[in-house]
Amino acid sequence: MDCDFGRSLQPHLLEAVALDADGNELGRASQRVNVPRAQAEVRILLERDQEGRPSAASVIYDSALARKVKRVMMRLDGLPLVGDEKDHFVLPEYDPGFIHILSAEITFGGQLSAGTQLSFGGLYGSDIQTDLTAVPVVTANDRPRTRATFENVLVAGGKACKVVAVENHGVQIFVVQQAGALPRLHRLARMLDSRNLAGFPRHLLVDGASRDPTEDLLHVVTTEPELISAGARQIILFPSSGPLTLNRRSMPWVVTHARVPRAPKAREHIADAAASAILTAAATTSPRAVLLVLADEQGDVGMFRPHEVREYASAMRVPLFVWSVSGASRAGEWGSCVDVSSPKEMLVAAQQLLTSVRRQNIVWVEGSHLPNHIQVRDSQSGFSFPKDAGQALNLMEPEPK
């Protein structure tokens, strides 16, 4: 059976329903399409004390790609826990009267990762809620970033979303660099700091297991796809380098120095890489954004077009920023962009980007929802989702009437 998802790149929920001869439902199965889907399965197993409260946790996982595990992380309310060699984690003291989020993330070789989360305590008591959705919400002012602030703000399917928790940790920026932009980035790197030009800045690499959750991170995504065989399937990945901390160097310094070399005459999939970065960013539980760095020429041989990627970013609630290192104010099909051809202009653009992303609050709501199925109840309430960077900075041209 063929299923037409339309011509645009959008998240979807595909459902198959089995009926008997009388039309009675026998069963159903569902599959999300174009949303973060781990290439590995991760589960959290809770242990309870004599009073029935969660006291420790173990994590089990399996990868279809059979890659070696590099790191196992578990966090309680955003704070890292220390586990043993068997991936067993003892929970610290916590107040059972409040809701707590326990999350696990497994990192495999090749930057492949998968994670899961659950909540307990507060209104759940000793019960466990495993179906949660993280939504980035922007506030128009300095309102308190608490769960009560976001009650009755979001709706899904016409019903109010029950808010479980609100987090606002360090930001994660996913940078896609066009190969043609690398020489100009090198020139900007010399202008910013000519003493440190010896290759990729590995001294800024962060160990996710020990990093401070308030630390800002940057990932560099390649535009060259990597084809991986997983049994009978073939998976296209766009590997990333990092994460790199933004807490020891400015963002312009990191963007210009963290250049990933490309193979000679490599065929670039710029829009596809940007779409992949959006998908990866949407899977994080941090304020997030994708940054596309372009030059003059755009030799893109990918499947998707720039306008499709912009629409996809909006549907996934991931802001997309487009920079030009060539001094242009427009970047072909990508539309309006920010001129970062000088260190001063890049410093200003980076500050605007980080300020915008830091306004995001990660709101956890009950249930499993597609990102574009959750809406703000009142558009005049001062709450909104992260906008396309062109809208946020008033750089986009008005739409024709």
Contacts of 148 (CB under 8 A, 6+ apart): none
| Cβ atoms within 10 Å of 48's Cβ, excluding its own | 11
Euclidean distance between CA atoms 338 and 329, whole angstroms: 6
First to last CA, the chain: 40
Cα dihedral value 190, 191, 193, 198, nearest 10: -10
Q: Please tell me the number of Cα atoms within 13 Å of 320 on its side-chain side.
A: 29
**Which amino acid is it at 108?**
F
Q: What pTM does this model have?
A: 0.76
Selected from 3.40.50, 3.30.470, 3.30.565, 1.10.287, the CATH number assigned to the domain covering 172-392 reads 3.40.50
Distant-in-sequence, close-in-space partners of 163: CB < 8 Å, separation ≥ 6: 147, 150, 151, 153, 154, 363, 364, 365
* φ/ψ of residue 272, rounded to 5: -65, -40
Looking at 190-232, which runs of residues are DSSP E strands? 217-221, 226-230
3 state DSSP class of 249: coil
> Rounded to 5, what percent of the chain is helix, strand, coil?
20, 35, 45
CATH value of 35-130 in 2.60.40.10, 3.40.50.620, 3.40.50.720, 3.40.50.10190: 2.60.40.10
Q: What single-letter DSSP state applies at residue 264?
A: T
Residue 351 has which token pair? Answer: 């500050």
Q: Are 197 and 185 in contact (CB under 8 A)?
A: no
- CA nearest to 134, candidates 282, 350, 326, 302: 282
Please say whether the beta carbons of 387 and 319 come within 8 A. Answer: yes
The amino acid at residue 216 is: D
Question: Per residue of the chain (401 residues), what is the pLDDT tens digit?
Answer: 667 666 667 776 676 777 777 776 655 555 656 655 555 667 888 888 888 888 999 887 766 555 677 778 888 888 888 888 888 899 999 988 888 888 888 777 655 667 787 888 876 555 566 678 889 999 877 666 788 889 889 999 889 998 888 888 889 999 999 988 888 998 999 898 867 666 778 888 887 555 677 889 999 998 888 777 656 666 777 878 878 999 999 999 999 998 776 766 667 889 999 999 998 898 888 899 999 999 876 667 778 888 889 999 999 999 999 999 988 777 778 888 999 999 999 999 999 999 999 999 999 888 888 888 899 988 778 889 987 654 444 333 333 33
Residues 133-148 as b or e (16 or more Cβ within 10 Å = b) = bbbbbbbeeeeeeebe
Around Cβ 276, how many Cβ atoms within 10 Å?
26
So where are the chain's domains? 35-130, 172-392
> In the structure encoding, which two tokens stand for residue 310, read together?
């912009």
